[in-house]
Homo-oligomer: A and B are copies of this chain.
Amino acid sequence: MATASSHSPDPRPPLRERKKQRTREALTDAALDLFTRRGFDGVTLDELCDRVEVSKRTFFRTFASKEEVAMAPYEDLWRTFIDDLELRPASPDRPVLQALQDSVLAAMQTMDAGDWAHRLLLCTQLAGKTPAIEAHCLYFCDVTVRAALDVLHRRFSLASHDLRLRLALDILVAAFHRGLETWATRPQAATADQLATDTRAAFAAIPGILTLAAVAPADHA
């Protein structure tokens, strides 16, 4: 209405796309709210769709499953990560694992708009108490790791069958999950900045896994 005269090019995506996007956001917001208040299993899709005034059929054209809508903010992060990998300048000689950590942190920075951190907090907590969501999340990570492997292979000619590379990606994801866990269970201050800090701390723990040794049982009280 108040925006563009008829002949100036509109920088925004066409209305159809914006509508789809709005539906998508309305669904995730309503889902996070309802799931958080009454539990994932305590809310039916019929109810969610009713709330957003959308048919169930449309829901499944937007999300592949009930789990996916709950993890949308999380999945957005990893999609951004893949995008970052595509564009990141090569840094030979630098350990791949380091570069990957940079990409994760960069992706986090990109997400930092609007209320993303808060939505991520909600879906992290939901995943923590809902096996079905957690399972979906872990599978999504698996797919993402394979996608990343593909990008690395294509852009930096890293052998995609090299076990070390795949394991580096796996440990990257695992460490990020620990960072998320720390962040989400913190009593307060689950800000985007704090998430970056917690993630860095989790990454820093990686080298220690090789040398960590058991204490003899007698060594403690």
Residues of A within 8 A of B (CB): 90-97, 99, 131, 134-136, 138-139, 142, 152, 155-158, 162-168, 170-171, 174-175, 178, 201-202, 205-217, 219-220
**Listed residue (A178, A208, A213) with the most chain B CB atoms within 10 angstroms of its CB:** A213
Cα distance A201–B94 in the bound complex, in angstroms: 25
Look across to chain B and name the residue whose beta carbon is closest to the beta carbon of A208.
Answer: B164
CB contacts (< 8 Å) of A209 on chain B: these are 97, 164, 167-168, 171
Q: Is the CB of B167 within 8 A of A213?
A: no
**Listed residue (A167, A174, A214) with the most chain B CB atoms within 10 angstroms of its CB:** A214
A sample of 26 inter-chain contacts (CB < 8 A) reads: A91-B214, A92-B213, A92-B216, A92-B219, A95-B213, A96-B214, A97-B209, A131-B139, A135-B135, A135-B139, A138-B138, A138-B139, A152-B214, A156-B215, A157-B219, A162-B212, A163-B202, A164-B209, A166-B178, A167-B171, A167-B175, A167-B178, A167-B208, A171-B174, A171-B209, A210-B210
Copies in the complex: 2
Cα distance A201–B161 in the bound complex, in angstroms: 13
Q: Is the CB of B135 within 8 A of A92?
A: no
Cα distance A213–B152 in the bound complex, in angstroms: 12
Contacting A95 at CB < 8 Å: which of B90, B175, B210?
Answer: B210
CB contacts (< 8 Å) of A91 on chain B: these are 214
CB contacts (< 8 Å) of A164 on chain B: these are 205, 208-209, 212
Q: Is the CB of A90 within 8 A of B217?
A: yes
Cα distance A20–B208 in the bound complex, in angstroms: 45
Cα distance A214–B213 in the bound complex, in angstroms: 30
Q: Is the CB of B170 within 8 A of A174?
A: yes
Cα distance A94–B211 in the bound complex, in angstroms: 9
Cα distance A92–B208 in the bound complex, in angstroms: 16
Q: Is the CB of A93 within 8 A of B138?
A: no
20 more CB-based (< 8 A) A-B contacts, given A90-B214, A138-B138: A92-B215, A93-B213, A96-B212, A96-B213, A135-B136, A138-B142, A156-B214, A156-B215, A157-B217, A158-B215, A163-B178, A163-B201, A163-B202, A164-B205, A164-B208, A166-B178, A167-B171, A167-B208, A168-B209, A174-B174
